[in-house]
Structures are given as C-alpha cells and as structure tokens.
Structure 1
Amino acid sequence: MGHDQHGAGDTVATLERETTSLLHQPKTLWATALASVFAFMGIGLVDPILPAIATNLRASQAEVSLLFTSYFLITALAMLITGVISSRIGGKKTLLIGLALIVVFASLSGLSNGVAQLVGFRAGWGLGNALFVATALAVIVGVASGGSGVAIVLYEAALGLGISLGPLVGALLGGWQWRAPFFGTAVLMAAAFIALVVLLPKLPAPDTRTRLRDPLIALGHGGLRTTAIAAFFYNFGFFTVLAYVPFILGMTAYGIGAVFFGWGVLLAVCSVFLAPVLQNRFGTSTVLVGSLVGLAVALGLLAVFAVGVVPAVVVLTILSGALLGVNNTLFTELAMEVSDSPRPVASAAYNGVRWLGGALAPFVATTLAEQFGPRVPFLSAGVLVLVSAAVVLGGRRLLNGHEPEHV
C-alpha cells in the first residue's frame, strides 16, 4: 500500500514538474509554436466552406474532398525529402521556405476559378506544409527545456489550437466570401514568416546529412513501423469526421465552424492535459487501444444518426475531439521515442505513412457516401480504426519498451 502511495506521489510530482516546465520555454520555441498554430489552421480552414466551394465551383462532394487529398498526398510524399533539405540548409531556412510556399499557394487558391485549379494549388500548399511541419517538430524538440515529452505536448497543443481555430477563422471569413479564408491564411503565414525571421536564431545544420532513403530505412524498426501503420488506419477515422461531417450537417459556414471549433478545443485540451495523465496511469499502448476502440464506437453511433438526427451528429462530432486529442499525442510521442532513429528522420518516416491515410480518407468517405449513402463512410472508418487498435495490440511487445513507469 505504501508502495502504491509512493508511486502515486511520484506520478503527481512528475506531472507538476512537466506543467511547470511547459510554461518556462525560450522565445524561439514560442515563435515556432505560434507559426505552427497558423500552419495547422490550414487543415481545418476549408472545413466550413466545403459545401460553399461545391456550390460555387459546381463540384461534387468527392471532387471537393480532393482539396484534402492533394494537400495530404503531397505532404506525405514531401515528408521523405524534408530531412534531406533541412539537414543541408538548416532548420530556419527550411521553415521559412515552407512558410513562403504556403503564402504563395494559399493566395493562388483564393484566386481559383475551378475545382481542378484549387486542388492543384492545395497540392503546392501541402509541399510548404510538409517542409514547415516536419521541421517545426524537430526544432521544438531541439530547443525545448524539460525534455522531449514536454516539447511533444507543446507541439500537439499547437496542432490542437490550430485545428480548432482553423474552422472558426474559415467560418468567419467564409461566411462572408468563400475565397476569403485562403487570403486570410496567406496573411497569417506571412506574419509567421516575419516572426521567425526576427525571433528564430540561425539553427546549425545537423552533423550528419539525412539521405533520401533514411526514412524508409527507419521504418525497418518494428516499433516505428507499427506506430506508422496504426496511425495510417487511425487517420481514416480522423479525416472522415473532419472532411465528411460538414456535408451532412446541413448548416451555414458559421454553424459548421462553430461545431468544429468545439471539436478542436476538446482535441487541444485533451491532447495537452488528458493524454499525459492517462499515459502515466495506464501506459501508452493500453490507453491508445482504449481510445481507438472508443473512436470506433463514436463512428458507429455517427452512422446510426447520420440521417436526419443533426443534434446527435453535432454532439458526437464534438466529443470525438477528446478521443482524437489523446490519440494524436500518444501516436506522436511513440513515433519520436520508440526507435533509435534521429527524431527528424523518425518524424519524416511516421508522417509520410500516416498522412497517406489523411490523403485517402476524405475521397474514400465522400465517394462511399455518393455510392452507398451517408452511413457507410462512418461504418467503414470505424472498421479501419478497429484495425488500427488491432495493430497496436498486435505490436504491443514492440511498443512496450517506450512505456513510462505507471502505477
């Protein structure tokens, strides 16, 4: 009994230390984290305006979903070259090139006259996003005080905040004019560019240069490969919620934005505060399996209520944010810690695989809906999330070396 109390006291002390160190970080980290918030806003920004884009550009739901597919497909493929670039020109230049590309392609997206053009410009946006996001994680981990666990929580907080603010900004600007969110993003990313030029010191290039094949070699590690494959299937659940739910809500841009703002806030809060507590108490793989099964249940319920029960869809969508927040943090931490690869290489390998799921999921969901009705996307996503849980469970031995001590 005394041992249990001692263990519980250690856990509380650890959490208090982590909370304290979260707040005492160098300016460099806060500048990079703020720029990351703006970058992640780009993911959810188009959410509230998906129906408006479909109407204005006379496009089907599946065609509009390609805005996500082109963005994440290029992001996934470009992840394989981000390390090659940043290890040669340094982190700061890589971040700035990524931001500059986002400014250019977000502006061009706002000028699009057809859905094919818009899909193409989103691909260019995805290239900028890959250069920025992969490098930002490595920079944040590199400059944070308090260890990589603290850095990853801060990174996930930036992701959650960006994903929650994206739909809000998209709704406020998109309710006025569907092109406005794209120009709004360009302005925010230009501001982030200036902030990093001023606040981020020149970061030295790594001692060893990353080779193009290094991320592929890194996937030879069983733990990292298991994490990446599980995240690939998990992303079908994540992006079915993000990219398909707007079409069945039957709301204006403001309504969709409000729903996904609530979703994103819960995602951010749970990724920062709930995930570490559960992880310390029960262990990473146990929490991950439980959270994935919970997400599969939520997707099953969304399938039940998808036709005509909008209040239930709203509640389930917002609540799913909690499960997604926990999953995001644990997947990212596993990817960074489970293998002996350098973090930028591990990040590139993991993100390259998981964003392929993000690329496929929106198009698969909307195509299934057009062919078989609005319930099927949720059912299929739920099955794939259960596959993700099975992968984690099956690879538990490979992941357990990363488990923190828990009581």
Structure 2
Amino acid sequence: MKWTLRTPLPRTVVMLAVAAFFVAVGFGVMIPVLPIFAASFGVTNFMIGLVVSAFAGMRLAISPFCRRISDRIGHRRTIGIGMWIVGASSALCGLAGSYWELLLWRAIGGLGSAMFTISATALLLASVGPELRGRASGLYQGGFLLGGMAGPAIGGLLATVSLTAPFYFYAGTLVVAGAIAFSQLHDPPGMAEAAAVAPTRSLREVVADSRFRAACLMSFGQGWQSFGVRSALVPLLVVGALGSDPSWAGIAFAIAAIAQTAALPAAGRATDTLGRRPVMVVGGLLAAASTLATPFAPNMQLLIVLLCVYGVGAAALGTAPTAALGDAAKDAGSQPVAIYSMAGDLGSILGPLAAGVLADSWGMGAAFGSGAAILLAGAVAAALIPARLDRRNSEPETVG
C-alpha cells in the first residue's frame, strides 16, 4: 500500500493514543501522592526517592527481555498484560502495610510498564509506513500529554478523599487501557511468522546508523531534562528564585504542556514532509536554548514563556526521533526499540540525581546547563545524518 500525507492514520494508531491517554491520566493522578505516601511510613528522604526510582530502574532492567516476550505472544497481548500488571501493582501499592511492600509493588509496576511501552512503540512503527511515522508519533504523544494535563487536577480531588485513592484510580485507568489493548489493537499481518525468522538487519548495522544514534541521544536527553532536571528543579526556581506560590509551578507546567500539545500536529507533519533531520535539529536547539535560559528568568511570565518554548521543542523531539528510529530499525526486530526506550529511562534515572549534585555544588545554571548540553549534542548528531538517509521513504542502509 502506498502511504501519503493524506492517508488516514490506521485505527490501531488511534487506539494506541486513546490507551496512552488513560495511562497518562492515571499516572498523573498517582505520582504526586507517591512520595507523600512513602513518607507516611517514617522513612528517610533517600528511601522515598528509592520508591520513585524503583519504577524506572525495573523498566531499565526488564527492557532487554521485552522483545522476546512480544515475539512469543504478540504486541497486542504484551501491551495489555503489561498495562494490567501496572494496574495490579498500583492497587497493591495502595494496600501496602509497610515501606518494603510499597517498594516491591512499585518495582513490579516498572516491569509491566516496560512491556507495554516498548511493545506499543514497536506496534506503532509497524502499523504505518515511513510517510506517516511523524503524524502517528505525534498523535501517540498527544494522548500522553492530554492525559498528563488532566491527571494532576483529578489527583488533587482524589487526595482529599484519601491518600491511597489515587492508587486505585490509576489501577482503574490501566484496566480500561488494557481492555482497549486486547479488544481494539491488532498485530500487523504475518507478525507471528516474521518473529520466527531471524531479522535481516543486524543490531550492529542499526547501531552504526546515524539516525538510530541521534534518536537514542535525543531520547536520553529528553529523559534527563524533561523527567529529571526540569521536573525536579523548576518548582524550586518558582518558590526560591522568583518568590512565587508553589501552585505557580503546576500552572507553568500546565501552560507548557498545552503549548507542546498544540505543536504536535505541526511537528508530525513536518517530520513526514521535511524529513526527520531538520525537525530533530530545530527541536534540539529550541529545547537546549530554553533550558539554558530557564534558571536566569527574572520573573514568572518569562519563565512560562521559556517553558512553552521548551514544550515546542519537546513536541519535535517526541515525533522526529521516533520516526528516525522506525526508519533505522526496519527489518531489525524489536531490540532497537528496547534500546531506544532504555536510553530514555537511563536519562530519567540519572537526570534528577545529577541535577541535585550540580545544583548543590555549582548552582542552578550548571544543573540546567547539563541538560542543555545533552540536547545540543543530540541536535549536532541529528545534523550529521546524511541527506541520503533522511528521505521519507528511506530504507535502512548499512553505514560504516
């Protein structure tokens, strides 16, 4: 089938975005109360941080094995089972009677998260041709963003009911998302037969591909900055440097999320029409420049503007690298997708730790500068992608 920019996105892509919305709503509801619930067991700040990190740590540990799981049972079942594992673990977190029970169930949730995240990305890329990968990635990311905006508002209401109510709500949203996966998603035709055949492109060839390397570096930078430095330190800037009420941190993030969501359709279309390279370069430069300027914002208004600029850059980095990954990893199985996901997880684990150390030792400028440097390196890596590899219909080539 010949794919064009006007071709409607397949139903599988649309339903993946719907499932992503339910996952993100629940995640947004639960995450703000997790540290508070952990603290109720009378543990140290380090142990509270360990509960937060356990989820990402388990995702990182299980990611290399997700390809074998999806090859054996299919992407659809892997996604659904993974979502239900996270849902069950969330409910058990709410029932935890000790800190160690909470830590255990939270870590098990990371196992399910790795299963559905990697398989969902692989299914997304397998469901569309090269000319629709940007739009498909944008719609999928849009589901997460819209859910992420709605989640904290619902979470605030649920927290007034009880501290554990958000955990049960998260479990419920994942039951819905898992049901969508089982009933509405479909594996590509011939997937079972293809899984039994060895990939025609080796992992070494994929790693040698400049598109794959740039995509992984961008994924690492996004994890480091978006889920690390930005989330950990912007609230401190709002309260400490600008003297604003803590509620302004949530308002600023919400406005930036709206800007990012609004920019996703244009980023997806540009990725499919202009190519992956220019969108990755522009996105990386916007994200790096706004990150570097953020700690020096003199007032709340300019800080919000900078966060919105970052959101526009993040929209580009949520579409083009995924499309580049699909171009580079075609006919190479799901292992490159797992590596791409692991790069983001590693950044999200190391980012908060490094940001804290840098902020304590050299100030906020150094902490934000670390994220800007990684994003800038990703933009440079994208700029070095040869033009012959950045065609919309490009097939993987062996590059030395």
**TM-score, reference length from structure 2:** 0.79
The unaligned stretches of length 5 or more in structure 2 are: 394-400
The Cα shift of 1:297 comes to: 1.6
Match of 2:223 among 212, 216, 235: 235
**Partner of residue 94, structure 1:** 78
Aligned partner of 1:207 among 194, 201, 207: 194
- 1:156 is matched with 141
1:268-279 aligned within 5 A: 268-271=261-264, 273-279=265-271
Q: Report what 1:325 is aligned to.
A: 315
Match of 1:189 among 174, 177, 192: 174
Q: Does the CA contact (< 8 Å) of 1:236 and 1:358 recur in 2?
A: yes
Q: Does 1:396 align with 2:381?
A: no
1:326 positional shift: 1.1
Instruction: Give the distance between the partners of 1:376 and 1:175, measured in 2 at CA.
Output: 38
Deviations 1:334-387 (A, max 9, x none): 111124444633322221223211221122223433454444321222222222
Counterpart secondary structure, 1:396: coil
Q: 2:341 aligns with which of 337, 347, 351?
A: 351
Task: Give me the whole-angstrom Cα distance separating, in 2, the residues matched to 1:231 and 1:195.
Answer: 27
- Equivalent in the alignment of 1:179: 164
Give the drift of 1:404. 3.6
1:403 aligns to what SS in structure 2? coil
8 Å Cα contact 2:134-2:272 kept in structure 1: no
- Note if contact 1:171-1:257 (Cα within 8 Å) is conserved in structure 2: no
Q: 1:315 to 1:78 in 2, by over 3 A?
A: same
Instruction: Work out the CA distance in 2 between the residues paired with 1:245 and 1:111.
Output: 32
Structure 2 CA distance for partners of 1:236 and 1:175, relative to 1, 3 Å: farther
Match status 1:109 vs 2:93: yes
Counterpart CA distance in 1 for 2:110 and 2:192 is 24
Gaps of 5+ in 1: 1-13
Which of residues 72, 86, 98 is equivalent to 2:56? 72
Q: Distance in 2 between matches of 1:350 and 1:295?
A: 19
* Mapped partners of 2:254, 2:193: distance in 1: 38
SS in 2 for 1:83: helix
Q: 2:303 aligns with which of 308, 313, 316?
A: 313
1:76–1:355 CA contact under 8 A, matched in 2: yes
Distance 1:110 1:98, change over 3 A: same
Q: CA contact under 8 A between 1:54 and 1:61: conserved in structure 2?
A: no
Q: CA deviation at 1:282?
A: 4.9
CA contact (8 A) 1:65 1:362 kept: no
Separation (CA, whole Å) in 1 of partners of 2:42 and 2:312: 35
1:194-224, CA deviations, whole angstroms, 9 ceiling, x for partnerless residues?
Answer: 3334444687635324889x76774344431
User: Separation in 2 of the partners of 1:58 and 1:370?
Assistant: 25
CA distance in 2 between counterparts of 1:355 and 1:320 reads 20
Note if 1:376 corresponds to 2:366.
yes
- Do the aligned partners of 1:91 and 1:205 also contact (CA within 8 Å) in 2? no
Query: How far apart are residue 42 of structure 1 and its match?
Result: 5.6
Q: 1:249, 1:256 within 8 Å by CA — same for their partners in 2?
A: yes
**Separation in structure 2 between the aligned mates of residue 94 and residue 269 of structure 1, nearest angstrom:** 31
**AA aligned opposite 2:341:** N
**Which residue does 2:18 correspond to in 1?**
34
Which whole-Å CA distance do the structure 2 matches of 1:210 and 1:233 have between them?
Answer: 34
Pick from 224, 236, 252: which aligns with 1:259?
252
Sequence identity of aligned pairs in percent? 23
In structure 2, distance between residues paired with 1:312 and 1:151: 32
Residue pair 1:105, 1:124 contacting (<8 A) in 2 also = yes
The 1:134/1:184 distance shift into structure 2, 3 A limit, reads same
CA contact (8 A) 1:216 1:349 kept: no
Distance 1:157 1:343 in 2: 26
What secondary structure is seen at the aligned counterpart in 1 of 2:195? coil
Aligned length: 381
Greater shift, 142-151 or 116-125, is seen at 142-151
Q: Kindly indicate whether residue 122 of structure 2 is the aligned counterpart of residue 138 of structure 1.
A: yes
Relative to 1, partners in 2 of residues 1:263 and 1:377: Cα closer, same or farther, differing over 3 Å?
A: same
Q: Measure the CA separation in 1 of the matches of 2:329 and 2:362.
A: 41
Give the Cα–Cα distance (whole angstroms) in 2 for the partners of residues 221 and 134 of structure 1. Answer: 20
Q: 1:143-182 CA distances to partner (integer Å, 9 max, x unpaired)?
A: 5698544433332222333333343433443465543332
Q: Separation in 1 of the partners of 2:222 and 2:364?
A: 20
Alpha-carbon deviation of 1:128?
0.8
- The CA RMSD measured in Å over matched residues stands at 3.7
What residue identity is the alignment partner of 1:78? Answer: I
Q: CA deviation at 1:192?
A: 2.0
Which string of whole-angstrom CA distances, capped at 9 and with x for unpartnered residues, describes residues 64-92 of structure 1? 55455332232233222111001111223
1:297 is the counterpart of 2:284: no
